[in-house]
Copies of this chain bind each other. A is one copy, B any other.
């Protein structure tokens, strides 16, 4: 293939990203040939600093610049309401709603026996430690098979840890149902069942 090495090398870097195929990788690379060098340098700097300048928050395991992270160090957040999530990206998603005022706990994955990921591979123990001082644990893992299994495992462990001995810990799961803007005709039976079970008086 008669293609200059610097171009090929960037095409290959783009192709290693998820969801970016050869055509998109080529298109992005040739687009970048036309931007100023300063934009390329900014991009390069952001990439190489991404992990160098971030650490995991010692409290919630969020990816952060400082320890504790911006959420954990915010005095306005309710430290006794902990939302358990799979990935750091999920924090972004919930923060955008601006409707959650508790704190997070990032598991960094879900229990997945097929990929040899058990509770010990996740930040599970830290969660159980934090749960001692919590009022509510909201389990917000994804509604996938692995997410549900992880949710059940956490629930069981927390019940064992708090056998109604004075301290009452509320354990909740995110509400399931029809998403906004969805078409009922395309909803699957499990989602519809959840929607019926989770119906609210209006």
Contact = CB atoms under 8 A, between A and B. Distances in A.
B40 A4 contact: no
Interface in A36-50: 37, 39-50
A198 B165 CA distance: 85
A52 interface: yes
B91 A13 contact: no
A54 B44 CA distance: 17
A37 B5 CA distance: 22
Interface in A72-126: 74, 87-89, 91-92, 95-96
Interface residues of A, number: 56
A62 to B, nearest CB: 8
Contacts of A42: 9, 13
B95 A9 contact: no
Nearest to A14: B43
Given A4-B70, A17-B32, 16 more contacts: A3-B70, A6-B52, A6-B65, A9-B42, A9-B46, A16-B43, A17-B28, A26-B92, A30-B88, A32-B47, A33-B54, A41-B48, A43-B44, A44-B45, A44-B48, A47-B47
Interface of A: 1-7, 9-10, 12-13, 16-20, 24, 26-33, 37, 39-54, 63-65, 69-71, 74, 87-89, 91-92, 95-96
23 contacts: A2-B70, A2-B71, A3-B92, A6-B46, A6-B49, A6-B54, A7-B63, A9-B42, A13-B46, A13-B47, A18-B28, A18-B31, A26-B92, A30-B87, A32-B47, A33-B51, A33-B54, A40-B47, A40-B51, A41-B47, A41-B48, A43-B44, A44-B47
